[in-house]
Structure 1
Amino acid sequence: MFFELIATFAVGIGAAGLALVAGHLSRGRLPRYAAPVVAGIAMLIYAIWSEYTWAERTVNTLPESVEVLVSVEEARFWKPWTYVVPQTTRLMVLDRAGVQTNPAAPSMLLADIYLFGRWAPPVKRPQLVDCVNGARADVSEAALTDPSQAEWMTVGAEDPLIGALCNT
């Protein structure tokens, strides 16, 4: 967040500098308030661009083995343009490279999902997935040693994690 604030100020200073140069080249035809107005508009445009491209930039930094399962789009009243085009604020991704199976229980999978949120640190959530029953559970020490000890949630085949792991 701090670096985005610095980048926003840098964009504003650069735009103000360009406005000052344009004012000098136009021999004073631009009004004196052009530089701060241009700086403010440039900073607003940069902030909007940064918000809308956050999800794409985040996914591009992840390895090829990662698959986006859920992309949450939201509109906020203090950002009226998001009612026209909602922005992505949260992502749930699956690390396919880390999926593990147990030969004794081939329908039971262990997978890592990562939860990304705008302005929030990423969270790793290991999940047990039961493809036969369409259920999943958060991993705990007890669940790793005995899956029957897990707190299973029956979510069905329409769940993004079940669909991604069990239908392939």
Structure 2
Amino acid sequence: MLLEFIAIIAAGFGLGGVVLALNVALRKRLPGWLIPAAAGAGMLAMAIWLEYSWLERARGAFPPEVEVASTNEVRSWYRPWTYVVPLSNRLIAIDHRFERRNPAMPRQVLVRVLLVGRWEPTRQFAAVFDCAGHRRADFMDQVEFEDDGSLRNARWQPLQPDDRVLQAACRD
């Protein structure tokens, strides 16, 4: 966050400096308000670029085994450009590095789910996805495995068959 703030300030000084140099080269023929306006435009442009590039930068930070399953797009009145191109501010990813399957329950998979948000700490939890039954059980303290591989004390949440997180978790 601090580095992004510094980048925004630097962009303002940079574009303001370019217009100042242009004004000196033109022997001060540009209006006086143009230099601060250019600095403000540079800061705004950098802030918008940082917001829209967040998703790709977050994806690039993941290892190849982490699959982004879902993103959240927002529109807000104080960012009018988001009505033209929505802004992604959160994502749900499946970490296949920790994927486990029980031979007794081949259509169930235990994976790590990552919840990543802009300006938020990353949260992660384990979940069991029933690929055939289209449901999910979060792996909490009270959940235990039975001898046959089934779950005891699990709270199954039904999912739609086309749920993107379910499809990502069940992908072989």
Is this a same-fold pair by TM over 0.5?
yes
What residue in structure 2 maps to residue 151 of structure 1?
155
Structure 1 Cα separation of the partners of residues 166 and 86 of structure 2: 27
Structure 1 Cα separation of the partners of residues 144 and 101 of structure 2: 12
Which structure has the highest helix share of the two?
1
TM-score normalised per structure 2: 0.90
Structure 2: which 5+ runs fail to align? none
What residue in structure 2 maps to residue 163 of structure 1?
167
Structure 1 Cα separation of the partners of residues 140 and 11 of structure 2: 47
Structure 2 Cα separation of the partners of residues 21 and 151 of structure 1: 65
What residue in structure 2 maps to residue 24 of structure 1?
24
Contact 1:114/1:124 (8 A) holds in 2: yes
Q: How far 1:106 sits from its partner (Å)?
A: 2.1
Higher relative contact order (CA 8 A, sep 6+): 2
What residue in structure 1 maps to residue 10 of structure 2?
10
Could you tell me the percent identity over the aligned residues? Answer: 36
The alignment of Structure 1 onto Structure 2 pairs a total of residues equal to: 168
Contact 1:133/1:156 (8 A) holds in 2: no
Structure 2 Cα separation of the partners of residues 53 and 118 of structure 1: 11
Contact 2:94/2:169 (8 A) holds in 1: no
TM-score normalised per structure 1: 0.92
List per-residue Cα deviations over 1:101-131 (Å, max 9, x = no partner): 1233222211011111121111112111122
Q: Which moved more, 1:118-127 or 1:36-45?
A: 118-127
Structure 2 Cα separation of the partners of residues 118 and 96 of structure 1: 22
